[in-house]
Structure 1
Amino acid sequence: MSRKMLIDGEGGHPADEEQYDFDLFVIGAGSGGVRASRTSAGYGAKVAICELPFHPISSEVIGGVGGTCVIRGCVPKKILVYGASFRGEFEDAKNFGWELNDEVGFNWKKLLHNKTQEIVRLNGIYKRLLTNAGVTMLEGEGKVVDPHVVEVTQPDGSKKQYKARHILIATGSRAQRVNIPGKELAITSDEALSLEELPKHVVILGGGYIAVEFASIWRGMGATVDLFYRKELPLRGFDGEMRAVVARNLEGRGIRLHPGTNLSELTKTEEGIRVLTDKGDALTADVVLFATGRSPNTKRLNLEAVGVETDRAGAIKVDEYSRTNVPSIWAVGDVTNRMNLTPVALMEGTCFSKTVFGGQPTKPDYGHIPCAVFSIPPLSVVGLSEEEAVEQGKNDVLVFTSTFTPMKNTISGRQEKTIMKLVVDSETDKVLGASMCGPDAPEIMQGIAVALKCGATKAQLDSTVGIHPSAAEEFVTMRSLTRRVTAGGKPKTNL
């Protein structure tokens, strides 16, 4: 069997083939690891993958095939977002003629059960995908003991070593806790997806997408929610104008925002958890969620012993092809802390396989990657924010915005606007970035991302016929310039 390898003197000599149990050994069966395993096997490589035993809540010795996204991330989170969205739908339905009882019951345990059943189903699907691809699956904790050797500690404690021509690390990341007194009383997003009882009052620390999404989820299910974050607005790194819109929507849905505020201490009391802020204020909650970032899963991989370089945060350093400083060891996904999104890990896994086994050296392309914050309503973006466009561009930046009441809200009476935005290069007319906050934003933005990836200009969007009546048509009817920002100037806001 012929296998095309990335150069560096690693060609497939028959004598060398006998030295290895596998062409590729993958540590971590999340999105990136599973994709790399399957595509590598498709190129004819002999592949093995190891993963920790399955459980909805992860630990250093618990994981599951499918990884964070499937088991304790995007998928179960989105299921809870769907569940929480019905509260607003019931309220909106009244003006559309639906007569509902004042008290609509909600069974948290039923939703939790159905959510767990779904991730168990998906876990089984991922296992079948690997089996059907001819990948050898091993349950246990893997660590690197040599540039070509992985040691797997099996659930019964026994250890076994496997020799591989290439080793791919795809162990993802783990939610981290803030180091304050009483931190053990708080939960992370892992536990938040599997709480036995629905909390009545939640305190959330963090201003990122996980914090914002869980605030929307719990508020949608009727809980009182207090959201604390250090900056003036949530969602640092997103377009400033859209951040303000999200904050306004969160408050409009009844979430209490505490900008510029941190937590300093948690204490267990008879009433619940007493939360003390750095401003000296105190309140009591049933649940405190730390949503303050994630750390790469590298501590138990034995990387230092084999010379694999990591950064200060523990992320594995890789080159443009996902290769570490040790030629036989590679890494993809959140463990490299490049762009921590599931579709990006899938892309990196595919590029790795093409490079190492497909004879097609391929670098992941991080341009025009869309993403979404599944708040209620959601935010979705692609390309550059206004701030990034102004900072990076040599030409003036043209900003087009549209603010309107969605047709549904004109009848329901909900006081919530949809906001859309396009950022355009004044000289080339190329659309540099797009963003939207409103119902169906992620579904719409996926199509806009295709256009931007193809280099769409504002004129091309303007010449596109819209679908009427729809929110999406606004992206092709924004004719009036909102503002022009000079190169090197300061972005402004009209929203």
Structure 2
Amino acid sequence: MADYDYDLFTIGAGSGGVRASRVAAAHGARVAVAEEHRIGGTCVIRGCVPKKMLVYGAHFAEDLEDAEQFGWNIEGKSFDWIKLRNAVLNDVTRLEGLYTQTLGNHEVTIFEERAEITGDHEVTLASGRKVTAKYILVATGARPFVPDFPGAEHIITSNEAFHLDALPKRIIIAGGGYIANEFAGIFNEFGSKVTLVNRSDVLLRGYDEALRDRLLQISLMKGIEFKFNTTFKSITKTASGTLQVELDGCDDMEVDAVMFATGRVPNVEGLGLDKVGVELGQRGEIKVDAYSKTSVDYLYAVGDVTDRVQLTPVAIREGQAFADSVFGKGEPYAVDHSCIPSAVFSHPPIAAVGLTESEARNTLGSVRVYQADFRPMKNVLAGRNERSLFKMVCDDSNGRIVGIHMIAPDAAEMMQAAAIAVKAGLTKADFDATTAIHPTMAEELVLMR
């Protein structure tokens, strides 16, 4: 590898790129990484980390109401969006520093500029400097999809939502996926009038139908409006600064902001992939094999840019597997993309792992479903008429658990441990034989009949 400037050159310092770079360096490789924006990528800078902080902030709206039933007298409560926004952005900067420090501690060279592949084993930086590498890893992630229609320049995406100078009094959120539902809950709790507009009549496609229905029911009860089978025709900015939104499928609306959360597209433009013959998929994603190798032998890709599973922990695992397999001393290994747990940080949150009931019936034929439909103890005392739902889907032939789905406060925290059991192939009998922790919501996992 001495014929090259580096053993590995990584384009993109997000979760997958940082993990791959530092692990490769730990294996003894000479590593460089280029990042044109900020170290940390989507998750740390403009994604799951700052969003979860906003979710925490939003929860206080209901917690302060519920506290009165628990004996607390809270007077003069108010919410300061700018204070929360700045606190979140400051913590993002702190985390960016830690990610940068991690790379530095592993002696990874950082180029804070754009990089483009300009030839075999060759990368050209925005400054004009050319460097060579034995292996090149593309980890440039994805970005929010922005549609093309009259007035689209007036919309915001999740990227801009973290930097708003003021909360919109009225906001339309376009989309039906996890980002749309999460921000609908966030803005609603902060006091905005939220309308979620979706081109189909399905929310959270891929999640169990019972959970989707329950979230819709609770969201309506919280005051969020939904417009299904509706598309955008145009957006016009008025003299007063509001937005006049012309819709196909419902009446036109006047709002203060329109946010689009209708999917994410891989960042592949301007990388020079065509110069070396990297094969792309129908959505522009980089096509890779099980070991994250592209159609070019020395070029790999991990994370959202491959559009396999757009989740941060998956990108991290892919980066780890790539670095271990290419630079480690052990046998190469691939990431198992099956049975991946996930969560939607809506209000309340959803968490799931494995097959939905319908998927299990289509795949296995005979299944057995167990449910727990209950009102959490805290909600009872608070007078909050909001019910949680747990579902366990089992293969009827052997009792093996093939899916667990829940919508409940702290669902994601409970799901992490439950996902281990599903991944390990445990059975309903194994859960039944486990003593419950009482009183908790999690005990319903071992009490379902």
TM range (shorter): over 0.9
Q: Is the 8 A contact 1:176 1:294 kept in 2?
A: yes
CA drift of 1:414 comes to 0.6
1:234 matched to 2:207: no
CA drift of 1:18 comes to 2.7
- Alignment partners' CA distance in 2, 1:85 and 1:264: 34
- Alignment partners' CA distance in 1, 2:404 and 2:368: 12
Q: Name the structure 2 match of 1:493.
A: none
Instruction: Give the aligned length.
Output: 447
Once structures 1 and 2 are overlaid, which stretch shifts more, 288-297 or 352-361? 352-361
1:134 matched to 2:103: no
1:455 aligned counterpart, secondary structure: coil
Q: Name the structure 2 match of 1:222.
A: 191
Match of 1:71 among 45, 54, 60: 45
1:463 matched to 2:447: no
Post-superposition Cα deviations, 1:242-286, rounded to whole Å, max 9, x if no partner, equal: 111111111111101112222221111134001111125111111
Q: Name the structure 2 match of 1:374.
A: 345
1:357 matched to 2:330: no
Q: Name the structure 1 match of 2:4.
A: 20
1:325-344 equivalences in 2 (<5 Å): 325-344=295-314
CA drift of 1:468 comes to 0.1
1:39 aligned counterpart, secondary structure: helix
Q: Name the structure 2 match of 1:263.
A: 232
1:383 matched to 2:354: yes
- Alignment partners' CA distance in 1, 2:269 and 2:175: 24
Q: Name the structure 2 match of 1:287.
A: 257
- Alignment partners' CA distance in 2, 1:471 and 1:18: 58
Q: Is the 8 A contact 2:157 2:259 kept in 1?
A: yes
One-letter code aligned to 2:251:
D
Q: Name the structure 1 match of 2:34.
A: 50
Q: Name the structure 2 match of 1:415.
A: 385
- Alignment partners' CA distance in 2, 1:270 and 1:281: 21
Match of 2:64 among 70, 87, 90: 90
Q: Is the 8 A contact 1:402 1:419 kept in 2?
A: yes
Q: Name the structure 2 match of 1:315.
A: 285
1:235 aligned counterpart, secondary structure: coil
Q: Name the structure 2 match of 1:29.
A: 13
- Alignment partners' CA distance in 1, 2:65 and 2:44: 31
1:434 matched to 2:404: yes
Q: Is the 8 A contact 2:230 2:250 kept in 1?
A: no
Q: Name the structure 2 match of 1:183.
A: 152
Q: Is the 8 A contact 1:322 1:331 kept in 2?
A: yes
One-letter code aligned to 1:229:
N
1:319 aligned counterpart, secondary structure: coil
Q: Is the 8 A contact 2:38 2:96 kept in 1?
A: yes
Q: Name the structure 2 match of 1:296.
A: 266
One-letter code aligned to 1:382:
V
- Alignment partners' CA distance in 1, 2:34 and 2:349: 36
Q: Is the 8 A contact 1:147 1:329 kept in 2?
A: no
Q: Is the 8 A contact 1:316 1:324 kept in 2?
A: yes
Q: Is the 8 A contact 2:229 2:249 kept in 1?
A: no
1:472 aligned counterpart, secondary structure: coil
Q: Name the structure 1 match of 2:446.
A: 476
- Alignment partners' CA distance in 2, 1:311 and 1:436: 34
Gaps of 5+ in 1: 1-16, 53-62, 480-495
Percent identity of paired positions between Structure 1 and Structure 2: 47
- Alignment partners' CA distance in 2, 1:278 and 1:321: 44
Q: Is the 8 A contact 1:233 1:247 kept in 2?
A: no
Q: Is the 8 A contact 1:232 1:260 kept in 2?
A: yes
Post-superposition Cα deviations, 1:30-49, rounded to whole Å, max 9, x if no partner, equal: 00000000111111111110
1:204 matched to 2:204: no
One-letter code aligned to 2:26:
G
For the aligned residues, what is the CA RMSD?
1.0
One-letter code aligned to 1:373:
V
TM-score by length of 2: 0.98
- Alignment partners' CA distance in 1, 2:402 and 2:273: 39
1:202 aligned counterpart, secondary structure: strand
- Alignment partners' CA distance in 2, 1:123 and 1:226: 33
Post-superposition Cα deviations, 1:207-241, rounded to whole Å, max 9, x if no partner, equal: 00000000000000011000011222311111111
- Alignment partners' CA distance in 2, 1:309 and 1:123: 32
1:108 matched to 2:81: yes
- Alignment partners' CA distance in 2, 1:139 and 1:90: 43
Gaps of 5+ in 2: none
Q: Is the 8 A contact 2:227 2:250 kept in 1?
A: no
- Alignment partners' CA distance in 2, 1:180 and 1:402: 45
